[in-house]
Structure 1
Amino acid sequence: MPGAVHLPPETLSARLPELPEDRLLITFCTGGIRSAGAANLLMENGFEAANMSRGLFEWRAAGGPLTP
């Protein structure tokens, strides 16, 4: 997705200090399951977060662009 930052789940906890605290963070993965755990971790650490429950499958089905 344009503007997205890739943070693998195994690195997310260590990279929390890099994340902005002043906006909603939306997590996504291919199908939406792994990103649900990431959204929960963010919320447990005081971030406003939401999971894109059907992930990239739904994004592409809606015509959303992808960038390398």
Structure 2
Amino acid sequence: MTDQATDQAWEVIGPLPAPPGTGRRVFDGTLWQLSTRASWRDLPERHGPCTAVHERHARKPAMGL
């Protein structure tokens, strides 16, 4: 499993409605954390601030996603 969605995957994912503030970096950061099971604090910088990615990931169940 890769830590980033492919461009082909984004052709499918991109048009789907997403909560405000959720973009490719957040999605890829969440994918990285779920695939590695590492601490959010270990999130590579290319995915953005770990606190922001974690916050957006944690909010999704409350939003029904």
Same fold by TM (over 0.5)? no
Q: TM-score, normalised on structure 1? A: 0.29
Higher strand share: 1
